[in-house]
Structure formats: C-alpha cells, structure tokens
Amino acid sequence: RIGSATSLSSTVVNNRLQELVKLFKERTEKVKEKLTDPDVSSDDESPAASPAKLAPAAAPAPPPGGEPEGDKPAGDEHYCEMLCCTFKYRPWLDRLKNYRFPSSIDPLTNLMYVLWLFFVVMAWNWNCWLIPVRWAFPYQTPANIHCWLLVDYLCDLIYLLDILVFQTRLQFVRGGDIITDKKAMKENYLRSQRFKMDVVCLLPLDFFYFKVGVNPLLRFPRCLKYMAFFEFNNRLEAILSKAYIYRVIRTTAYLLYSLHVNSCLYYWASAYEGLGSTTWVYDGEGNSYIRCYYWAVKTLITIGGLPDPKTLFEIVFQLLNYFTGVFAFSVMIGQMRDVVGAATAGQTYYRSCMDSTIKYMNFYKIPKTVQNRVKTWYEYTWHSQGMLDESELLVQLPDKMRLDIAIDVNYNIVSKVALFQGCDRQMIFDMLKRLRSVVYLPNDYVCKKGEIGREMYIIQAGQVQVLGGPDGKTVLVTLKAGSVFGEISLLAAGGGNRRTANVIAHGFANLFILDKKDLNEILVHYPESQKLLRKKAKKMLKNNNKPKDEKGAPGDPLIIPPKPDTPKLFQAALAATGRMGGKGPLAQLRWRLKELKAMQA
C-alpha cells in the first residue's frame, strides 16, 4: 500500500511539474516576443497559481468533516493574460478600483473630454434657462425650494470638478511641442482668461441667502461659463459627420432662448405694473409662462395685433422690445442662411458645374445621346463619391496626410497586384499618391485593342469585361473589384505596349488609373524595384506572346497535315547513307522526305 501511494503521489507531482515547465516556456516565449517587438504586450508576473497546486498534491488527506487546507474561497481567484483567464472578466468593482485617471488629456481628440463638456454645458444651460424663470415667475416657492437648491449645487459641483480635475490636465502646444507636464499644464490654465472666468462663475454669493433670502439673481454669475459652451460646439462639430444639422438646432435654440428671456421680462413688467391693471399687461389668467411666451413671439417677430401700451413705462418697454426684436430676428435669419448655405455648398457647386456643362453642349449642338451620358456621369459621380474630383479635396492637405489617406483607401488593393509584389514598400506608397479615380458608365470603352497603352487600371468598384473573338464582342473574362489590367503595357517597350483586347465597363465602374509617366518618375528613385518590374513585365509579355499552337490550341488549317518529326536515330542513318552516296532504300526514303517538306513549304 505504501508503494502504491508513493507511486501515485510521484505521478501527480510529475504532472504538476510538467504543467509548471509548460507555463514557464510560454512566459519565456512572451518575453522573447517583447524583446523582439516592444509593442507586443507580455505578462510580467510569474505564474503564481501553478506552484500553489503542488501543495495539495503532496499534502495528506484532510480529516473527516474538515475542509481541505489547500482550498481557497472563490474571491481569491487570479486574473492573468494566460489562457486560463482568457474568458474571465474582473468584477466591475475591481475594474473601478484599478482605473487610473489620465495624467493629461488631449482636448482635440479625447472623446471622454467631449462627454464631460456635455455635462458642463447641461449645467450651464440649467442656470441660463432657469434663473430668469425663477426670478420672474412665481415658480420657486418655500415648498419646493429644496429641489431647486439641490440641482443648483449639483451644477456647482460640476463646475468645481471641471476646474480642479479636467482643465488642469489639458494638453497645450508651446513652440510646436505638445506639453504634457502636470505642472506646466496647471500653470498654463491658471494664466489663461478661462480660469478667471471660471473663478467669477463660482463666486460664493449664495451666502447672501441668509440675509436677503433665496434670490435666483445671486446665481447670475453661473451664466458666465460660456467658454465651455463654445468649446463644446467646436469639439462636437469636429466629430459629427453632418455638423450642419447641429448648427441648425443650435441657431434655433438661440431664437428660442431670446424669446424665453423676453417672456420673463414681460411677466416681470406686468407684475411691476400690476397683473391685469391695464389691457397691455398680462391679466393673470391661464398658464403664465405660455401666455407670456406667446406675447414675446408676437413682439420679437413683429407680427402685430398687440394691445397699445398705456403708461410711459409700457411704451418704453414696448419700443425696446420692437428694436431688439428687429435686430435679433434679422441676425437669426442671416445666421440660418449661412448655416444652410454652408450645408449645401457642395450641392450648389455640383449644380453649377452641371448647368455650365449643359449650356456648353447646347451651344455646340452636341447630340442628345451624348448629353444624356454626360448628365448620367455627373449624377452617378456625385451620388457615389459626394464630389466630382477627389484631388480638389486633398490638394490643401500636407503631403504626409495625403499619403496616410491614400494608404488607408488604396493600399489593400494595390498591395495585391502581382506585378508590384516584392517591390520597395516606399515605392508603393509614392505610387498611391499618383492614382487617379475615374468613373466609367455602362458600355464605356476603358481601352481598345491596338491602341497605345499608357495607363494601368485597378478596379475599385464595379466590373469590366474583356472582349475578343472573331467579331470582337465575345466576353472572354469578367474582372471584378480588386482586379488589375493593363500592367504589361505600363512597362513594355519596343512596340509591346499596345492593347491586346477591348475592355468595356459592365455597369458603372470606378477605376484607379496610374499613368506610365508617373510610374517612370517614381522608378528613377528605386532602381532595384525597376529591375524587378522589368523582369516581371518581360516574363508576362513572353507568356502572352506565345502562339496558340504551342499551347495546344489548333492552328491554321493545312492542306497537307504536318508529319511527326523523324526520330534522331533514323536521321543519323539517313545522314550516313547520304555520305556513302548509296542508292538503296534509305537514300530513296530520304529523297521522298525532302519532297514532302518542299510541298509543305
């Protein structure tokens, strides 16, 4: 029994040791990968769970009724990057405890900062919209004062966190360098105009509540945090794909807010004069805010139909309202026009180009069929790309940014071209910047047989058909997105750069075009790639120029079919007979073969 127990323990220990060795090997491989490539993450902690597994294997059995000594509660489970923990998730409380707030924040690209600005702007809007309402209308009462104060101080807490946590961590540019030092970022914020405005926003005027009561006007400095509102607008417009929609909503909100403030002033003027004291003031019936807002709309938009003011105060108030209404309404209309004009600038440019082209074609009496194809090209190009010429959009960008965009858009397609595989990577990058995007309509000829080839084509979207046969209309092959054709003509010389087939667009096709001139300018700087391309082009051209007879296809029909070649041994015998000058059967057979060759010729 002792021997069997020892043998069993030894087997278990050996198995555990093998597992431990395997884990150490995996860790060693990860360290090697990290040394080779620093970007590869590795686990720096040693596998602590495996040695612990050795103890229960050699430990004696626990006493009856007791718990095993090696057992651990479920809360002590380990989490690592090994396979054993791949599908485990840390509890949310642990993730929250281990979260580290970033030491610096990029205000231009950090979405978390944009989300925080949203909460700051919501707090700012609470103060801007509700302070006039609570001051003018009798909506703040002793019964609900605790609710108003709770939201007020919650907004103050958001203001305070913005100053202490976020604004002191914002990166900035100084002398072309991005500054991420904590002390420098804090000093930059403390010297800025925004810090002064933020301090004014949080002036503790609430202490006057103990003397004059809870007066909402004491919170008016909270409305001075307008810089956060404009910053939020800039950041949000930068990440929205259709920013003009937000601009329209924002401009509408400006108009609504001006009417909101005017309605509050009207109720205050009515309360000052006395509710219902004259026909001009609010009579105190119905919903006070809705009725005052209706009066403000009619006044600012100068609709008319309002009762005439009676007192001097009412006349002055009404005159100021009319002047303010005309000015505000004209500003709102002008701003809305600018927003809509900016949103439709591309559409306006497209329409003006099409109108000018149609006018030109009508002036020269171009046939209607051609005009219809031109119109179709304009419409499809605009709806598929959103622009007529992509180069116009990228011409203002620096060369490096244009390269980055070209790599993201075209590199996956160009890298799969067999002709360019093995070439210098930088040469391909330079080539990406020279590609031009062209749209072909259905049945348009991309290239014709026999013409000089000066471009290579890469199919970005759509399909093209290669035509051949006796009538030149038989579809030999259909090329789809990602296919390449015309690459042989791009490098061939000495008459080998003529097109060998007709290629037409099957439906709408968007192609990338690379000119031969552009490629030659690029290859001057990459001689090794130039040699490789020349070699590949010669090989491909040689394969294409092989006669069909060599490939097994039937050749031209002959009157006398060709005879098989004479065996070498037989030819040697015939040659020997010829040298001896014999007149036997071999000499006659040799003479007969000469006659057959002459007839075939």
SS (H, E, C) 259-314: HHHHHHHHHHHHHHHCCCCCCCCCCCCCCHHHHHHHHHHHHHCCCCCCCCCCCHHH
Contact 262, 299 (CB under 8 A): yes
Of 517, 476, 488, give the one whose Cα is nearest residue 417: 488
pLDDT value at residue 270: 92
Flag whether pLDDT at 238 surpasses 60. Answer: yes
Flag whether pLDDT at 122 surpasses 70. Answer: yes
Q: What are phi and psi of 435, to 5 degrees?
A: -70, 140
Count the neighbouring beta carbons within 10 Å of the beta carbon of residue 194: 15
At residue 460, the 3 state secondary structure works out as strand
As for how many domains the chain has, the answer is 3
Domain annotation covers residue 436: yes
Contact 16, 50 (CB under 8 A): yes
Residues 364 and 413 placed together within one structural domain of the fold: no
pLDDT in tens, 467-498: 988 887 888 899 988 788 887 777 665 555 67
Domain annotation covers residue 130: yes
CATH number of the structural domain spanning residue 366? 1.10.287
At residue 388, the 3 state secondary structure works out as coil
Give the single-character DSSP code of 287: -
pLDDT in tens, 495-528: 556 787 889 998 888 888 888 888 888 888 888 8
Domain annotation covers residue 358: yes
Find tokens 């590869």 and name the residue: 40
What's the whole-number mean pLDDT along residues 105-110? Answer: 89
Contact 524, 488 (CB under 8 A): no
Count the neighbouring beta carbons within 10 Å of the beta carbon of residue 509: 26
Residues 411 and 374 placed together within one structural domain of the fold: no
pLDDT value at residue 36: 57
Residues 182 and 254 placed together within one structural domain of the fold: no
In this predicted model, which residue has the larger pLDDT, 46 or 146?
146
Q: Which of 524, 545, 566 is the last residue of a domain?
A: 545
Residues 533 and 407 placed together within one structural domain of the fold: yes
At residue 175, the 3 state secondary structure works out as coil
Residues 254 and 358 placed together within one structural domain of the fold: yes
Contact 486, 447 (CB under 8 A): yes
Q: Which of 502, 523, 545 is the last residue of a domain?
A: 545
Flag whether pLDDT at 68 surpasses 70. Answer: no
CB-side exposure of 105: number of CA atoms within 13 Å?
20
Contact 257, 132 (CB under 8 A): no
Which residues, in sequence order, are CB contacts of 298 under 8 Å at separation 6+? 304, 305, 306
Q: Cα–Cα distances in Å, from 586 out to 231, 296, 572, 579, 596?
A: 105, 124, 11, 12, 15
Domain that holds residue 140: 101-239
pLDDT value at residue 20: 85
Residues 220 and 290 placed together within one structural domain of the fold: no
pLDDT value at residue 261: 94
Flag whether pLDDT at 23 surpasses 70. Answer: yes
pLDDT value at residue 471: 81
- Axis-axis angle for helices 527-544, 516-523 (nearest 10): 140
Residues 420 and 491 placed together within one structural domain of the fold: yes
Q: Which residues pair with 477 in a beta bridge?
A: 466
Domain annotation covers residue 302: yes
Flag whether pLDDT at 269 surpasses 90. Answer: yes
- Gap between the Cα atoms of 124 and 117, Å rounded: 10
Residues 302 and 346 placed together within one structural domain of the fold: yes
Contact 508, 439 (CB under 8 A): yes
pLDDT in tens, 3-22: 555 666 677 777 888 888 88
Residues 315 and 296 placed together within one structural domain of the fold: yes
Domain annotation covers residue 403: yes
Domain annotation covers residue 433: yes
174: left (phi over 0), alpha (psi -120 to 50) or beta: beta
Residues 193 and 277 placed together within one structural domain of the fold: no
* pLDDT-wise least confident of 76-90, 128-142, 158-172: 76-90
- Gap between the Cα atoms of 380 and 441, Å rounded: 9
Q: Which of 363, 388, 413 is the last residue of a domain?
A: 388
CATH number of the structural domain spanning residue 447? 2.60.120.10
Find tokens 């003018």 and name the residue: 136
Domain annotation covers residue 178: yes
Which residue type occupies 109?
A: T
Contact 433, 403 (CB under 8 A): yes
Domain annotation covers residue 15: no
Predicted confidence band of residue 194 (pLDDT cuts 50, 70, 90): very high
Q: What mean pLDDT is reported for the chain?
A: 79
| Sign (positive or negative) of CA dihedral 250, 256, 257, 258 | positive
- Gap between the Cα atoms of 370 and 393, Å rounded: 28
Residues 347 and 440 placed together within one structural domain of the fold: no
pTM higher than 0.75 for the full model? no
Predicted confidence band of residue 169 (pLDDT cuts 50, 70, 90): very high
pLDDT in tens, 532-582: 888 887 777 677 665 544 444 444 444 344 555 566 655 665 565 555 555
Of 416, 428, 394, give the one whose Cα is nearest residue 514: 428
pLDDT value at residue 222: 94
Token pair belonging to 520: 């030659």
Residues 130 and 188 placed together within one structural domain of the fold: yes
Could you give the residue ranges of the DSSP H alpha helices within 301-435?
312-343, 345-363, 368-385, 390-394, 399-414, 425-432
Contact 319, 308 (CB under 8 A): no
pLDDT in tens, 310-328: 899 999 998 998 888 888 8
